[in-house]
Amino acid sequence: MKNSIAERITDFLKQYPPFSSLQYADLLEIAKNSKVLYLEKNQTLFKINDVTHGFFYVVNSGAIGLSVTSDSDDVLIDKCDEGDILGLRPFFAKDNYLMTAKAREESIVYAIPIDIFTPYVASNPPVLSFLLESFASNTRNPYDKNNKGKLISENVIYNDQNAEIQYYQPIKYTENPVTASPSDIVRYVAQTMSSSHIGSIIIHENRKPIGIVTDKDLRSKIATGLFGIDVTIDKIMSSPVITVADNLSLAEAQIMMLKNNVTHLCVTKDGSRDSEITGILTEHDIVVAQANNPGVLLKQCKRAMKSADLKEVRLKLSDLIQHSLDKNVPIQHITSIVGEINLAITTRAIELAIEKIGTPPPTEFAWMNMGSQGRKEQLLMTDQDNAIVFEDVPEEQYDTVKQYYIELAEKVTKTLNKVGYIYCPAGMMASNPLWCKSVTDWQNQFKGWINTPGEKGILHCTIFFDYDFVYGSEALVDAITKTIHEETNDNQLFFAYLGADALKNPPPLGFFRQFLVENDGEHKDTFDLKARALMPLIDSARILALSKGIKNVSNTLSRYAKLAELEPQNAPIYEACADAFSELLNFRTEEGLQNDSDGRYLNLNELSKLDKLKLKNDFQPINDIQEVIKNRFQLTYFT
pLDDT digits (tens, 9 = 90+) for 550-559: 988 889 999 9
Residue 316 shares a structural domain with residue 414: yes
pLDDT at residue 197, as a whole number: 83
Q: 584, 377 in Cβ contact below 8 A?
A: no
- Between residues 287 and 20, which one has the greater pLDDT? 20
Residue 392 falls within a domain, yes or no?
Answer: yes
Q: How many Å apart are CA 176 and CA 171, to the nearest integer?
A: 16
Give long-range contacts, CB 8 A cutoff, 24+ apart: 567-571: 570/628
Residues linked to residue 58 through DSSP beta bridges, in sequence order:
85, 110
In a domain, 594, yes or no: yes
**Per-residue pLDDT tens for 2-21?**
668 889 999 999 988 888 88
Confidence of residue 358 (pLDDT cuts 50, 70, 90): very high
**Residue 36 resides in a domain:** yes
Does position 89 have pLDDT exceeding 60, yes or no? yes
- CA separation for the pair 219, 199 (Å, rounded): 12
Confidence of residue 299 (pLDDT cuts 50, 70, 90): confident
**Percent of residues, the chain, with pLDDT higher than 90:** 50
Q: How far apart are CA 565 and CA 89, in angstroms?
A: 45
Phi and psi torsions of 204, nearest 5°:
-135, 160
Last residue of a domain, one of 118, 146, 168: 168
Q: What is the mean pLDDT of residues 271-287?
A: 87
Q: Among 122, 149, 168, where does a domain finish?
A: 168
Tell me what pLDDT residue 169 has: 62
What is the pLDDT confidence band of residue 457, given thresholds at 50, 70 and 90?
A: low
Distance CA 218, CA 227 (A): 9
The answer to whether 85 and 141 have CB atoms below 8 angstroms apart is yes
Whole-number pLDDT of residue 250: 75
Q: How far apart are CA 97 and CA 436, in angstroms?
A: 41
Candidates 55, 168, 189; CA nearest to 109 is: 55
Domain that holds residue 204: 174-285
Q: Is the residue at 494 inside a domain?
A: no
Q: Residues 33, 154: one domain?
A: yes
What pLDDT is stored for residue 94 in this prediction?
61
Q: What percent of the chain has pLDDT over 70?
A: 88
What pLDDT does residue 162 have? 44
Res. 41 pLDDT band, cuts 50 70 90: confident
pLDDT band of 583, cuts 50, 70, 90: very high
Residue 588: is its pLDDT beyond 90? yes
pLDDT above 80: residue 29: yes
Statement: residue 138 has pLDDT above 50: no
Q: What are phi and psi of 353, to 5 degrees?
A: -65, -40
pLDDT (mean) for 373-379: 90
H helical segments located in 85-142: 89-92, 114-122, 125-137
Does 156 score more than 60 pLDDT? no
Largest CA distance in the chain: 98
> Do 616 and 529 have their domain in common?
yes
- The whole-angstrom separation of Cα 419 and Cα 312 is 8
Closest by CA to 12, choosing from 56, 51, 58, 55, is 58
Do 318 and 405 lie in one domain? The reply is yes
Per-residue pLDDT at 367 exceeds 50: yes
Q: Give the range among 160-174, 282-296, 398-412 with minimum mean pLDDT.
A: 160-174
What's the mean pLDDT in 336-350?
91
- Residues 278, 333, single domain; the answer is no
Angle at alpha carbon of residue 167, lines to 256 and 261, rounded to 5°: 20
User: Do 321 and 418 sit in the same domain of this protein?
Assistant: yes
- The gap between the terminal CA atoms of the chain, to the nearest Å, is 95
Tell whether 588 is covered by a domain.
yes
Q: 348 and 415, same structural domain?
A: yes
**In Å, how far from its chain's centre is CA 164?**
12
Q: Name the nearest CA neighbour of 242 among 203, 269, 206, 209.
A: 209
Q: Kindly give, in sequence order, each residue whose CB lies less than 8 Å from that of residue 62, ignoring residues fewer than 6 positions away.
A: 39, 103, 104, 105, 106, 107, 108, 109
Average pLDDT on 185-206 reads 91
State the CATH number of the domain containing residue 223: 3.10.580.10
* pTM score: 0.61
Regarding beta strands 365-370 and 264-268, do their DSSP bridges make them parallel or antiparallel, or are they unpaired? unpaired
DSSP state for residue 363 in the 8-state scheme: S
Under a CB-based contact definition with an 8 Å cutoff, are residues 446 and 486 in contact? Answer: no
pLDDT value of residue 95: 65
Highest mean pLDDT among 246-260, 283-297, 514-528: 514-528
Indicate the range of 1-15, 82-96, 154-168, 281-295 predicted with least confidence. Answer: 154-168
Please give the C-alpha separations between residue 474 and each of 112, 340, 359, 384, 388, in angstroms, as whole numbers.
Answer: 48, 16, 21, 20, 12
Residue 429 above 50 pLDDT? yes
- Strands 527-528 and 601-602, how do they pair? antiparallel
Instruction: Report the range of poorest mean pLDDT among 216-220, 288-292, 474-478, 485-489.
Output: 288-292
Strands (E), 13-52: 35-39, 44-46
Least confident of 74-78, 164-168, 419-423, 532-536: 164-168
Domain match, 30 and 156 both: yes
Structure confidence at residue 92 (pLDDT)? 63
- Do the domain assignments include residue 321? yes
Q: How far apart are CA 240 and CA 254, in angstroms?
A: 19
Higher pLDDT, 249 or 265: 265
CB of 305 closer than 8 Å to CB of 352: yes
Q: Are residues 615 and 578 in the same domain?
A: yes
CATH number, domain containing residue 140: 2.60.120.10
- Answer yes or no: is pLDDT of 290 > 80: no
Residues 469 and 506 in one domain: no
39-48, 453-462, 571-580: range with lowest mean pLDDT: 453-462
Q: How confident is the model at residue 55 (pLDDT cuts 50, 70, 90)?
A: very high
Q: What count of other Cβ atoms lies within 10 Å of the Cβ of residue 416?
A: 27
Last residue of a domain, one of 285, 314, 335: 285
Residue 165: per-residue pLDDT: 47
- Judged against a pLDDT cut of 60, whether residue 177 lies above it is answered with yes
Shared domain for 420 and 539, answered yes or no, is no
Contacts of 405 (CB under 8 A, 6+ apart): 361, 365, 388, 390, 430, 436
Q: Which residue has the higher pLDDT, 557 or 508?
A: 557
Regarding whether 163 and 182 lie in a shared domain, the answer is no
Helix residue ranges, H only, 376-520: 395-419, 439-451, 455-464, 474-488, 492-502
638: in domain: no
Orientation of helix 331-357 relative to helix 307-326, angle to 10°: 180
DSSP per-residue letters across 301-359: HHH--SHHHHHHHHHHHHHHHHHHHHTT--HHHHHHHHHHHHHHHHHHHHHHHHHHH-S
Angle between helix axes 294-303 and 331-357 (nearest 10 degrees) is: 10
Domain count for the chain: 4
Q: What is the mean pLDDT of the chain?
A: 85
pLDDT at residue 3, as a whole number: 65
CA 248, 250, 251, 254 dihedral sign is positive
Residue 151 covered by a domain: yes
The answer to which of 57-71, 366-380, 537-551, 609-623 has the lowest mean pLDDT is 57-71
Q: How far apart are CA 470 and CA 351, in angstroms?
A: 12
- Report the C-alpha gap between 347 and 60 in whole angstroms: 40
- pLDDT over 60 (residue 132): yes
Cβ atoms < 10 Å from Cβ of 465 = 22
pLDDT of residue 303: 83
pLDDT for 510: 67
- The CATH code of the domain that includes 378 is 3.30.460.10
Q: What are phi and psi of 403, to 5 degrees?
A: -60, -35
